[in-house]
Amino acid sequence: ASRDAARTVLAAIAVTAATIDRHVDELGRLDSVAGDGDHGIGMQRGATAAIAAARTAVADGAGAGSVLERAGDAWSDRAGGTSGALWGIILRTLGARIGDTGSPTAASVADAVAAAADAVSASGGAQPGDKTMVDALQPFADTLRAETSAGADAAAAWRTAASTATTAAADTAELQARRGRARTHGDHSLGTPDPGAHSLALIVTAVADVLQD
């Protein structure tokens, strides 16, 4: 069963990298409105390094948690930028929580995602409403927990949470940036969603398809 978990993690990281590849230009354009335009490139560098590290880890026989941790290390090492550091934290926190033994359950996945959201907030200092990836990640984590507590299986809960994250990411268009590079651009970003919230929504939406299988 833990072998299956490692393979699911590998598939999730693979669809993450493929999704980012398809959206590099879009993410760069979003980040050029009030940031420095490198969000697509940075995410692509990070996700490409993460999938390579995850493949090596699975070939070495690593469990799901270790695969996530090694992918997170590779992501933050290679991506550069704020989002790269935060995605490294997300994957490493998920890995530490999920661990290498046993089969992740809907509840343990929800707990791991909640811990990742807490770690991102603690590290970056952003609050909900600051127009960052937190504005997609926190509602994603909260919905995942609510759905699993209400008895949904992991795949169904994840899909509902991804839909919440997608709406929440789009809603960041109405927010003023108060963190990260975009904060120095005043209200330039009004009308444009936060790039990091948007990429997070794209990723969790793509991963829903993996969990469905």
Do 14 and 51 meet the contact criterion of CB atoms below 8 Å apart?
yes
Nearest CB to Mg ion, comparing residues 57 and 201: 201
Sign (positive or negative) of CA dihedral 46, 125, 172, 90: positive
Q: Which tokens hold the place of 6?
A: 């490692």
When CB distances to ligand ADP are compared, the closest residue is: 196
Interface with ligand ADP in residues 83-102 (CB under 6 A): 83, 86
From the CB of residue 156, how many other CB atoms can be counted at a distance below 10 Å? 16
Number of residues that bind ligand ADP (CB under 6 A): 24
> Site mask, Mg ion, residues 69-108, x = CB under 5 A?
------------x---------------------------
| Chain-centroid distance, C-alpha 46 | 12
Interface pick for Mg ion out of 31, 69, 135, 194 (rule CB under 5 A) = 31
The piece of 97-105, 108-116, 139-147, 188-196 that touches ligand ADP (CB under 6 A) is: 188-196
User: Cα separation of 92 and 96, whole Å?
Assistant: 6
Do 121 and 134 meet the contact criterion of CB atoms below 8 Å apart?
yes
36 binds ligand ADP (CB under 6 A): yes
Nearest CB to Mg ion, comparing residues 81 and 124: 81
User: Cα separation of 181 and 102, whole Å?
Assistant: 41
Nearest CB to ligand ADP, comparing residues 40 and 95: 40
Q: Vertex 141, ends 123 and 199: CA angle to 5°?
A: 70
Partner whose footprint covers residue 126, from Mg ion, ligand ADP, none (CB < 5 to 8 Å by kind):
ligand ADP
Short-list 10, 19, 85, CA closest to 52 = 10
User: Cα separation of 39 and 80, whole Å?
Assistant: 10
The piece of 68-76, 101-109, 110-118, 189-197 that touches ligand ADP (CB under 6 A) is: 189-197
What's the full length of the chain, in residues? Answer: 213
Partner whose footprint covers residue 180, from Mg ion, ligand ADP, none (CB < 5 to 8 Å by kind):
ligand ADP
174 binds ligand ADP (CB under 6 A): no
User: Cα separation of 192 and 171, whole Å?
Assistant: 9
Quote the least distance from Cβ 199 to ligand ADP, whole Å.
8
Q: Which residue ranges make up the site for ligand ADP (CB under 6 A)?
A: 31, 35-36, 38-39, 42, 81-83, 86, 120, 124-126, 132-134, 179-181, 194-197
Q: Which residue ranges make up the site for Mg ion (CB under 5 A)?
A: 31, 35-36, 38-39, 81
